[in-house]
A and B are shown apart, each in its own frame.
Chain A
């Protein structure tokens, strides 16, 4: 029953994001319309994939660092991606893909640094150091970014911040298909780690007694979740709240078993972002809201409501 409802919500969110938009497209022309085919459809697909990826990455990271506040962007990736994007603009790197590629490389660089910091205590990845390292590297990258912005040609770079705050305006079949080919790999790694992630919730020691290769699981989960997030930030900037709130909503409804929690987080995250993007495009048309605003405005009340229901029950 729960799955039927979630599946229906996801399908409805996708349909709405294709049918609705600031430009009036008559229902009869939906299938032939250039706007629907070349703009709305790839954007809906990209929104769903990015939202789902963020949901799963958030669920995985929360289990890994055993901290309910963990968010895919907490581990320094947004800072790294922002630095990459601003560098691409400041150095006038040519080509239509310069900005997303630079953001992706920046996120990967931050990932590498945080990972290296996480191993500082030896061969074992320390979740606490991952968190601290992520915050530190993120702040460091943000400082360099701000230095560049304040020293270079201002007008263009202010717009880089707009890009960074997130949005799906850059969606095309190219970016949607790229993510559709890329995301399944880290997603599969995370889904495959469902059982060890359940064990990890009991504490690292207990998990290893119960037969989990804790070190391997931690590395895999961290790398897979970060690679998902890096791709998401490259195509759509930093979209907040999906990776934080969706795993919690899924956990409140589906419990702590990652075998069902992760797919639920994927569908829920995808549906939330597709729906939020539809609202962002339509409510103030012809203008558009940053989608991160909408995800927060929807996600947080839903989260508060569920939290209240579950703590009272």
Chain B
């Protein structure tokens, strides 16, 4: 009986409370859990509202001043909540879906965004623009990114293989962002027929397909260790030292700088091998 009375009082109290909280407005405290989202938010002028980022968010330089909440995939829920966000932006992938539900239960708005390929960039920019009240800048950025994704690729003048790992050899196939990057820069991915974003292949397949370049995501100008391995020297591009060492920050993720990445890759391909 007493419990019921208390419950009724509680309902009354809640019902009477003046709704001080405004209806869903532009987010003011955002935690961004993917480097690409951080870049997009800065590009649409909402960078100053980011209160948490992942340890990988290194661009623009101003992002480094924002506190990091760790790896981000999957996020550490407590360190995200400790930033007291009103919006958490997550990459749409398995472990993040569970994390988003946990955050929602804690009363934080979340959004899961796909960002795997060039054509995902425009919609992602628009979504972020809507959530931050920056629709106009987001729209003009989205138009530019859409046209980048819709542009017919130039005829390929050279060929490459993206090598992600050497033992076992793992390459980038069709359906990945890096494959699009290469195609748009005028290079044919010799593993463009592999439907998966990445796949394990035999070394002899790389030898037989004979790419002119071996592209590697690398943050230093040092050639990968496998360049010196005897079995890899059967690959002509390795023997001749035709390596493209691409910094991951610019080339490894789709984002507002994708156009720049394509241009720079193209320049590097045109310049030819240094040595």
Seen from chain A, the residues whose Cβ lies within 8 Å of a Cβ on chain B are 21-24, 34-35, 38-40, 42, 94-96, 98-99, 154, 159, 162-163, 167, 169-174, 281, 285-290
Contacts and interface: CB of A to CB of B under 8 A. Distances in A.
Given A22-B205, A22-B208, 4 more contacts: A23-B207, A39-B203, A96-B225, A169-B203
B250 interface: no
Nearest to A281: B202
Main SS at interface, chain B: mixed
Contacts of A23: 202, 204-205, 207-208
Q: Please indicate which of the listed interface residues B166, B201, B202, B225 has the most CB atoms of chain A within 10 Å of its own CB.
A: B202
Interface string B84-118: 00000000000000000000000000000000000
Contact of B204 (A39, A154, A159, A167): A39
Given A38-B234, A286-B193, A290-B168, A21 B229 contact: no
Nearest to A291: B168
Nearest to A39: B204
B200 interface: yes
A167 B194 contact: no
Q: Which has the most chain B C-beta neighbours within 10 Å: A169, A286, A288? A: A286
Nearest to A170: B167
B230 interface: yes
Contact of A96 (B168, B205, B228): B228
Interface in B125-171: 164-170
A163 B200 CA distance: 11
Interface of B: 71, 164-170, 191, 193-194, 196, 199-205, 207-209, 225-226, 228-231, 233-234
28 contacts: A22-B201, A23-B205, A23-B208, A34-B207, A34-B234, A39-B203, A39-B207, A39-B234, A40-B204, A42-B231, A94-B225, A95-B228, A96-B226, A159-B164, A159-B165, A163-B168, A167-B167, A172-B230, A172-B231, A281-B202, A281-B204, A285-B202, A286-B191, A286-B199, A286-B202, A287-B194, A287-B200, A288-B168
A35 B167 contact: no
Contact of B200 (A24, A154, A288): A288
B167 A163 contact: yes
Given A35-B207, A159-B170, A172 B229 contact: yes
B76 to A, nearest CB: 12
B261 to A, nearest CB: 19
Contacts of B165: 159, 162
Contacts of A167: 167-168
A288 B207 CA distance: 15
A172 B203 CA distance: 11
Given A23-B208, A96-B226, A159-B170, A169 B234 contact: no
Given A154-B71, A167-B168, A286-B201, A35 B231 contact: no
A172 B229 CA distance: 8
Contacts of B207: 23, 34-35, 39
Closest 10 A/B residue pairs (Cβ): A23-B208, A172-B231, A172-B230, A169-B168, A159-B165, A96-B229, A170-B167, A286-B205, A38-B234, A167-B168
Contacts of B170: 159, 162
Which of B167, B196, B201 is packed against the most chain A CB atoms within 10 Å? Answer: B167
A258 B169 CA distance: 39
A281 B206 CA distance: 13
B99 to A, nearest CB: 16
Nearest to B193: A286
B231 A38 contact: yes
Contacts of A21: 202, 204
B164 to A, nearest CB: 8
Contacts of B194: 286-287
A38 to B, nearest CB: 5
